[in-house]
Structures are given as C-alpha cells and as structure tokens.
Amino acid sequence: MKYALLFLLLNAYSISSLYAQSEFLDSTFGTNGVVLANHERVGAEFVQTLQVQADGKIILYGLDLDSGGLRVVLGRYHNNGVPDLTFGSEGFVQTFFSRKHTGDYSSQYELGDMVLLDSGKILVAGYSGDDKQLFLARYSSNGQLDDTFGSDGITYPFDELQLRPSDIAVQKDGSVIVCGVSKDGVIADGFLARFKPDGTPDSSFGRDGIVLSASVSQECSLYGFISLALDSEGRILVNGFDDYNAAVDSYKLVVAAFDSSGNIDTSFGVNGCSLKLVTTLRSISVGDILLSGNYIVMTVGSEQEYATVRLTQGGERDQTFGINGYQVWRDRVITLPRINAGPDGSLFLSGSIVGDGGSYDFFLGRYLADGSIDSQFGRNGEIVIDVNKSENRDFPLGVVSQLDGKIIQFGTSYRSVKGDLTLVRYNAQELVSSVEGETELFGTIETSVVGNSIDLSFTSTTRTTVDLRLYTLDGRELEQFTYPDILPGRQSLQIDLPEELPNGLYLLALSVGREKVEGVKVRVER
C-alpha cells in the first residue's frame, strides 16, 4: 500500500455538513469498531500495509520515523481486534534498520512494503536510511526473524546502489518483485528488481537482477515506480510519474508494462507505456495500481483534487468507466485516495476528507463496476468517521475489503505530535455471497478439497465461458482459471491449489463474463 503527502495536508479545502456515521462500524471489532494502538507502546505511529490471513487474523506493517531512526513494526490481531499475544512480544515485533534518522523520508518511496507469503511467513522490503541500502527481511509466522533467510533474517542485496522500494509482490514461482526509485544524487529513475525466494538477486532478470526504466524505454523513463501488480499473464504492471515540469506546470502520469523477465511489453499502450495524463497537480499522490477483473485501476490525487482511472488490459482508457475512463467523487475534496477492488468489479475508495473547522476524518465510498456511486452503501454511497474526536487529524492510508462484508481502513490518528496506529472496521453486504442451494447461473455448486486440489461441480445452462477465481478473505486474488467452452449440463472440474497455501477459509468465485458473480467458501485443511 502506498501513500504520499501524509504530513503535507494543511492547505486542503474544507467542506460542510460532515457527520460521524458510527452505525456502520463493526461493534465486534476493537472498541465500537475502532482499534487505536498507542505509538509509545507498539513502537509505530501509522500502518503502511495490512493483510488478512487465511485464519482471519490481521497482519499489519507499521513504521516510526524519529530521531532514533527507521523502526519497522509488525503486528498481528485476532479477528475481533485484540492483539495476538502469540506473535512477537504482546502481539508486536520491532526491528531497527537505521539507528540514524537522516530526515530523508519525505515520500512513500523510502517506506517500503510488506507481503504475506503462502507459507505464512512475512516478507518486508525497505530502505535503511543512513546506510542508503535496500533491505529485505523475512519473519516467521510467529513474528521472529527467519534465520534461514539472509543473515539472521535480513539481507542487503545491492551494496553499491541506492534503491528505495515502494512496493513488493511475489510471482507464482516464488520469485520476489520489488519496485521503487533508484536515486543517485539528484538523478532519479524507476526500478524493478527480482529476487530468488532466498533473497538473492535473480541475475536472469534485467541486468544482474535490476531493470531501470530509463535503460529500457525512453517512453517509460519515470521519476520512480510507485506501485506494482502482477496479472494472470505474468506481466508486471507499474505506475508512476515523471519529474515536475516547471515550464508547463505539470506532471505526466504513466502506467508501464513489463514481461515476467523484465522486458518492456511493447504491445501495451504505446511502446509499453499508457495513460500519460498531464496534470497540474502540484503536490501529487499516486496510489495503488491494482487489477479488477479484466481492468487496471489506479488513483491519483493532490490536496485539491483526485481521480480514479481505469484502463483495459491493453493500456487504453476504459470508456465504459465514469467519463472517458476517469471518475471523481461528487464535489468532495479527498486526499490520500486509495482503492481496493471486490470480485464483483466494485471499488472501495478510501481517503481523508476535510470538514468544518479543518478536521481530517476517515472517508469511505463505493463505486459500482461501471464507475457509478453505489447509493446503497453507507449514506448515499459514503461513510465518514471521526476516529479521534479529541483531535482533528485522522489519516487513512489504505483499505481492505473482506469477502464477508467486513471492510478495514487503516492508517493513523493523532492525539499529539505522534500518531497512533489506527484500524477501523465497517459492516457491509458481502461482496460475493457464499451460495447454498440453487444458484441462478450454476445450479448447485459443490466443492471438496482433496490434497492440493479442489474438486468442483456445477450446472451450466448454456454453452459458455466460465471464469474461476480463488480469493483470500481480504479479497486478494490468488489464482485465475478460464474455461472457454463449457457445455450445457452438469460439469466437474479439478482446480490445483498453490502448493504452500496455508490452511484456512477461501472463496472460489464463478462468473460468466463477470456480469454475475457467484461463489462458494472453501476450507483448506490438509
């Protein structure tokens, strides 16, 4: 999860008639739907990334930047918002990666990211500040550094390069992809790096494991890569922007596509790049790039405006979404915009919204698959929550939409100079219902898990193409399967599971052209 401008929001415009819609909070989580973790106790002041394990437990990656340096904090909560005392020390693990704070952590590039591995282990990529090195750290499922990885759980793979990671993902073969900014003095460039599962650079990727945007494409030479996504074809999709052009008072936003080996995909957009939206957003915040069905979605914003953008798989703006592929949220001024996609093509928009008196509150809205606002969600499509009523600075940094209808926003809430880790969970309708009995499209859906595969049976009423997708509880797509010629009648399919998939609850979603999605929950117990 990426964010920018966390501490640069003092000039945002205000709007009127905000309200705290506490009736939408999940009262079974934390205290009336809210978890606030004091930064002095847990060692971090904001949540950078959050994922939900197959057993329903919540893993978070938090950070603290102060005179003591860069401190990475991992935390784990039970599904009810209570810290998991079997994880680390009282539910939290602190690791120092820089004892000297250089003051050079002004953007999202240096703050890294976390990914939950299929084995249950946790992998973190970050930037060590005074040492000016990219690091990878792997933790076991109980929160301890994994001493089988690198040196006592940590590796610094590139001694001579200043690589500041912003996002991390894992390919199907276990290889690790990291993106971010490569900075040598005043010169900055976007980079991709690939590592073997043991954390060593993969020399078959780019040059000695690294791809720099300027070296592969003049069209895709960017100031930095912000976020990445891996599609079903193995492509690596990244977004970013070029440096500010004072002559025309603008930035140029870009989405680029690379193949799994790090070569630019010239079939995407123009010579591998797409969008190239010229914007006059002076203080720009580029959010996550993610996949929603057959589309690529991203957000971009500043203190004054924002937009959600949807592209086709070929890099063209999707003309069926919003207006010419762009959508904004009514007349709201939403800062720190982040999105999360549901299996049904819907999008949750998270951000901070400014109310009367200059307070910053948590904002959550929902788009339908066509980009229109879902008026059935919250109040007329949106929910606004004042997390810490004694202060006026609540900043959500991301959102996770669970398949059971629970939605978690995460970020920070300020009581003083330092912020507190903040989680807010909402009740909402299930994104994909777990069907029982007869369904509209597939009759009775039956499943059984045998070893590393799912035996699936359903009924098709016509000759059609059926898409199957396997999701985690927090809506992350694990596998996608397409069956292009399903005949009428009762059908039986066998679906292979990822080998290291942890035991727990998942959702298998079936759809025809994604017009209608029906699914069944699957429990993996080996």
pLDDT at 119: 87
Is residue 60 in some structural domain? yes
Taking only the tens place, the pLDDT of each residue in 449-479 is 888 888 999 888 888 888 888 888 777 778 8
Q: Could you tell me if 33 and 153 lie in one domain?
A: yes
Residue 167 has pLDDT above 80, yes or no: yes
Q: What share of the chain has pLDDT > 70, as a percent?
A: 78
Q: Could you tell me if 96 and 28 lie in one domain?
A: yes
Give 101's pLDDT tier (boundaries 50, 70, 90).
very low
Residue 132 has pLDDT above 70, yes or no: no
Structure-block tokens of residue 418: 């330092």
Q: What is the mean pLDDT of residues 392-400?
A: 86
Is residue 433 in some structural domain? no
Is residue 1 in some structural domain? no
Q: What is the pTM of this model?
A: 0.80
Is residue 332 in some structural domain? yes
Q: Could you tell me if 405 and 460 lie in one domain?
A: no
Q: Could you tell me if 371 and 454 lie in one domain?
A: no
Q: Could you tell me if 303 and 269 lie in one domain?
A: yes
Residue 199 has pLDDT above 50, yes or no: yes
Which of residues 62 and 13 earns the better pLDDT score? 62
Q: What is the CATH number of the domain that holds 374?
A: 2.130.10.10
Q: Could you tell me if 317 and 415 lie in one domain?
A: yes
Domain with 485 in it: 438-524
Amino acid of residue 511: S
Residue 302 has pLDDT above 70, yes or no: no
pLDDT at 18: 31
pLDDT at 360: 85
pLDDT at 61: 92
Structure-block tokens of residue 105: 């952590």
Q: Could you tell me if 354 and 456 lie in one domain?
A: no
CB proximity list for 14: less than 8 A, separation 6 or greater:
333, 354, 355, 356, 357, 358
Name the domain count of the chain: 2
Which of residues 503 and 392 earns the better pLDDT score? 503
Q: What is the CATH number of the domain that holds 469?
A: 2.60.40.1930
Residue 265 has pLDDT above 70, yes or no: yes
pLDDT at 431: 47
Is residue 520 in some structural domain? yes
Do residues 45 and 7 lie in contact, with contact meaning Cβ atoms separated by under 8 Å?
Answer: no
- Please report, for residues 1, 67, 388, 419, the alpha-carbon distance to residue 39 in angstroms, rounded to integers and kept in the order given: 20, 15, 14, 7
Q: What is the mean pLDDT of residues 364-379?
A: 88
Is residue 339 in some structural domain? yes
Q: What share of the chain has pLDDT > 90, as a percent?
A: 25
Question: How many angstroms separate the CA atoms of 266 and 311, rounded?
Answer: 16
DSSP state, residue 462:
S
Is residue 322 in some structural domain? yes
Taking only the tens place, the pLDDT of each residue in 287-297 is 788 888 788 88
Residue 58 has pLDDT above 60, yes or no: yes
Taking only the tens place, the pLDDT of each residue in 420-447 is 889 999 987 654 444 445 677 788 888 8
pLDDT at 228: 92
DSSP letters, 229-296, are EE-TTS-EEEEEEPPPBTTTTBEEEEEEEE-TTS-B-TTTTBTTEEEEEEE--SS-EEEEEEEETTEE
Q: Could you tell me if 282 and 367 lie in one domain?
A: yes
Question: How many angstroms separate the CA atoms of 430 and 520, rounded?
Answer: 12
Of the residues 396, 426, 456, which one is the last residue of a structural domain? Answer: 426
Q: Could you tell me if 228 and 307 lie in one domain?
A: yes
Q: Could you tell me if 389 and 465 lie in one domain?
A: no
Which of residues 168 and 249 earns the better pLDDT score? 168
Of the residues 426, 461, 485, which one is the last residue of a structural domain? Answer: 426
Of the residues 389, 405, 426, which one is the last residue of a structural domain? Answer: 426
Other beta carbons within 10 angstroms of residue 176's beta carbon come to: 22
Q: Could you tell me if 225 and 365 lie in one domain?
A: yes
Q: Could you tell me if 259 and 171 lie in one domain?
A: yes
Do residues 8 and 352 lie in contact, with contact meaning Cβ atoms separated by under 8 Å?
Answer: no
